[in-house]
Structure 1
Amino acid sequence: MTTTTTAPDLATVIGHELPYLRRYARALTGSQDSGDTYAAATLEAILEDRSVFDTDASPRTALFRVFHLIWQSSGAPVSGDESGLAAAAQAHLAKLTPNTREALLLNTIEDFSTAEIAEIMQTDEDEVAHLVKIARQEMEDSISGRILVIEDEAIIAMDLQSIVSDMGHAITGVARTRDDAVKLAQQEKPDLVLADIQLADNSSGIDAVRDILEAHGNLPVIFITAFPERLLTGERPEPAFLISKPYGEEQVRSAVSQAMFFSSTGPLHG
């Protein structure tokens, strides 16, 4: 009886957390394909040996801990197969202090506590705090540029402008609709697009981003949405960088630093 109920329960809890593991993996690697490969390897490891999934921890912590073990065992590799902007980003990634980005993302994007991160990374809380501090400095100091904000709510748009301006980035404009976004991108090509999904005239931030990418080539993109699971289904190309509403300042800072750092994302092509 126990055997028949354990498997569905484990599948259910993992299924609930999987979209967030995939979000983390993509932000960590800067690639949908690479991130999903590591997420899939995590699931395969659990299926092969249930003991790696620590039932004494929360399901979310246990799942991310298995991911981290796989990521570390692979050497947290930097791909040599990229070219252009992606190659430059990966070369820069190799110079970062080990484990700093993992700690930063777990804290600011996935909202794990310092104690939970210590459990995931198998270290102590002081070391986690140190890693997060280093990561913030290294990521924010690495690149600055021009950011286009696509957001129809004035207060949120002002908040986003304030956050990214304080980071040293320039704002090329704020668009409330798809057409406005395309026009602003034509006037001044941004280095990064920060886009809400639902816009003022019921147009789509996703469509606006597609239009901009078709006109200007590959740019790093961050989507903001109250429903992240709708963009993390595995059924189509998806964003590597995603912020959930309501967001915190540190989430925005971390995502912007990550996206600018990689300088190439593959959101929602085709």
Structure 2
Amino acid sequence: MTGSTSQSPKRKLALNVLIVEDEALVAMDLEYMIEEAGHVPVAHADNLESALEAAKDHRPDIALVDIQLGFGESGLQVAEQLKDRGIPVLFSTGNCPGDEGRPFALGCMHKPVVERSLRAALEAVEATMDGAEIPDLPSSVHFY
């Protein structure tokens, strides 16, 4: 009897995603889209302090970070602190930072975020973590 072995596709693991967003409705939309993409929104934070606490408690694989947070806080500061803790960041904002964001994040996703862009961004994050080539991205997502 001759048998053939078939290669099973590489199993994709769900990413644990921290959302750092000060607008509750935007955060809820992101949570829904993250779940629909097969990933897990582990926590929602709206400032630096709550982001660091959530990162400590949940140890996310990636953080989606808005640049302009409430009370004048900057997502750049959040991204810097998360990076120092070994947590990759993808900005999710209306105004992606230029070179000032490059040291702290993998890239940026322009708001308003739509499901197609979020899925593509998370696939690119997975590729980056696996050392693979980043797939083609929609124009609303760019990696540094």
Smaller-chain TM-score bracket: 0.7 to 0.9
Q: Check the 8 A contact 2:45/2:51 in 1, yes or no.
A: yes
Q: Give 1:204's aligned residue.
A: 74
Superposition deviation, residue 149 in structure 1: 0.3
SS in 1 for 2:91: strand
Quick one: which of 43, 56, 81 aligns to 1:173?
A: 43
* AA matched with 2:95: F
Asked if the contact 1:220–1:264 (Cα under 8 Å) also holds between the matched residues in 2, the reply is no
Output the amino acid matched with 1:256: L
Higher strand share: 2
For 1:1-270, what aligned pairs fall within 5 Å after superposition?
142-214=12-84, 216-217=85-86, 219-228=87-96, 231-233=97-99, 237=103, 239-263=105-129
Instruction: Name the larger-Rg structure.
Output: 1
Q: How far apart, CA to CA, are the structure 2 residues paired with 1:222 and 1:185?
A: 14
Contact 1:152–1:199 (Cα < 8 Å) also in 2: yes
Q: Distance in 1 between matches of 2:18 and 2:42?
A: 5
Paired residues, number: 125
Counterpart contact for 2:82–2:88, Cα < 8 Å? no
Per-residue CA shift, 1:231-265, capped at 9, x if unaligned? 22489636432111223221111111211331289
Whole-Å separation in 2 of the counterparts to 1:182 and 1:209: 10
How well do the aligned residues superpose, as a CA RMSD in angstroms?
Answer: 2.8
The answer as to whether partners of 1:143 and 1:261 remain within 8 angstroms in 2 is no
Measured in 2, the distance between the counterparts of 1:187 and 1:161 equals 18
Q: Judging changes above 3 Å, is the alpha-carbon distance between structure 1 residues 242 and 235 closer, same or farther for their aligned structure 2 residues?
A: closer
The answer to whether the Cα contact below 8 Å between 1:194 and 1:223 also exists between their aligned partners in 2 is: yes
Say if 2:88 and 2:106, in contact at 8 Å, map to a contact too.
no
TM value normalised by structure 1? 0.41
Identity in percent? 28
Runs of 5+ consecutive residues of structure 1 not aligned to the other structure = 1-137
Q: Distance in 1 between matches of 2:15 and 2:31?
A: 13
Question: 1:70 aligns to what?
Answer: none
Quick one: distance in 2 between partners of 1:208 and 1:261? 23
Structure 2: segments with no counterpart, 5+ residues: 1-8, 132-142
Q: Deviations over 1:110-160 (max 9, x none)?
A: xxxxxxxxxxxxxxxxxxxxxxxxxxxx99x63312110000111110000
> Helix, strand or coil for the counterpart of 1:142?
coil
Matched to 1:210, the amino acid is E
